[in-house]
Structure 1
Amino acid sequence: MSKNTICMWYDKDAEAAARFYAETFPDSSVGAVTRAPGDYPSGSQGDILVVAFTVAGIPCIGLNGGPTFKHSEAFSFQIATDDQEETDRYWNAIVGNGGQESECGWCKDRWGISWQITPRTLLEALAAGGGEAKRAFAAMMTMKKIDVATIEAARRGD
C-alpha cells in the first residue's frame, strides 16, 4: 500500500467510477473492493464501501460515503496529452459518458470529478514565459477543449 493515497468521496458509485478510469486512462487499474462489515449511515452491511484503484499511476480509493459531500473544482486530475488525438480521446470519454464541458481544458466526469485535459504544448508554452506564454494563454482562454493547432500557432505568433 502506498504511503499517500488520494481518497475521493462518492455517493454510491465508486466502483463504476474506478472501472471507467481504468478503461479510459493508461497505467490505471481497479484493485481491492471492500464491502461494509456492518450498517453505516449511507448503507448496509455488505454494500461496497471502499474501492482501491489507480488513475494514470496515482493510487486512489473511492469511498461510498453517501450524498453528504460533493466534489468541486478545488480538486482535479491534470492529464498531460501529447497531441490532439489523445486530447480528443480523453475529453470525449469524459464528456461523452455523462460528463460536462467547462473552460480552458477543464471538464467533469459524471461523478463530479474535475479533469484538466492539457496538451503538453500548452504546458511548454506557459513555462516558456514572455510573449509565447502570453499568446498561448490568451488562446487558451477562448477554449473549452484545447485545440493543439491553435495553441501551436499562438506559440509561434501566427
Structure 2
Amino acid sequence: MTSPKATICLWFDKEAEEAARFYASVFPDSRVGAVFRAPSDFPSGRAGDVLTVHFTVAGIPCIGLNGGPAFRHSEAFSFQIATDSQEETDRYWNAIIGNGGQASDCGWCRDRWGLSWQITPRVLTEALAVGGEEAKRAFAAMMTMQKIDLAAIEAARRG
C-alpha cells in the first residue's frame, strides 16, 4: 500500500492516538492505521512514547503528531462533515460535545483536543448555493443556531 501524496498533519500535545481512536469510532470511513513510537528522546517526550499516528477521518488521510504543548489548534482549520439528516447531525455533534468538546455558532464545535468541526447539513449547503432570497433566509436562520436545526433551515428556505 502506497501512502497518499498529501496528508493532513495535526499537532497534538500527547494525545494523538486517543484522538485518532475517538474520530475512528465516530465518523464512517475512518480508521486508525500505524502507530509509530519515538526511537529516542525528543523535546516533548521520551524514547518509546507515541510520536505519530496515521489515521483516516471520513476518508481524509491524517497524521497525528505528538509534538508537545507549543502549538494549539484554532478555527483557522476545521473538518467539515456533511450530514443528510437531523439524526446524523445530532449524532456527530453530540459525540464531539459529549466527549469534552464545546459548542460554538453556526454548526461549529470544538473537540476536547481543540480541533474544530463544522457539522453541516447538506440542506444548508444547498440553500446557500441557490442564492437570492432563499439563501438569505437560510443564512439568517443559521446565524441564530449553534447545532444546525434542519427543519428550521427548510422552513427558512420556504419563507
Query: 5+ residue gaps in structure 2?
Result: none
**Are residue 89 (structure 1) and residue 54 (structure 2) matched?**
no
The alignment's TM-score, normalised by the length of structure 1, stands at 0.99
**Are residue 9 (structure 1) and residue 11 (structure 2) matched?**
yes
Alignment partner of 1:149 out of 145, 148, 151: 151
**Are residue 74 (structure 1) and residue 76 (structure 2) matched?**
yes
CA positional deviation for 1:117: 0.2
Instruction: Give the partner amino acid of 1:147.
Output: D
Q: Which runs of structure 2 are paired with 1:24-39 in the superposition (5 Å)?
A: 24-39=26-41
Q: Secondary structure at the match of 1:33?
A: strand
Q: Which runs of structure 2 are paired with 1:36-115 in the superposition (5 Å)?
A: 36-115=38-117
CA positional deviation for 1:7: 0.1
CA separation in 1, counterparts of 2:146 and 2:136?
18
Q: Secondary structure at the match of 1:142?
A: coil
CA separation in 2, counterparts of 1:75 and 1:59?
15
Alignment partner of 2:122 out of 120, 123, 130: 120
CA separation in 1, counterparts of 2:82 and 2:135?
17
Say what the alpha-carbon RMSD is for the aligned residues.
0.3
Query: 5+ residue gaps in structure 1?
Result: none
Instruction: Give the partner amino acid of 1:144.
Output: Q
CA separation in 1, counterparts of 2:47 and 2:54?
19
Runs of 4+ in 1 over 2 A off after TM superposition: none
The alignment's TM-score, normalised by the length of structure 2, stands at 0.98
Aligned residues: 157
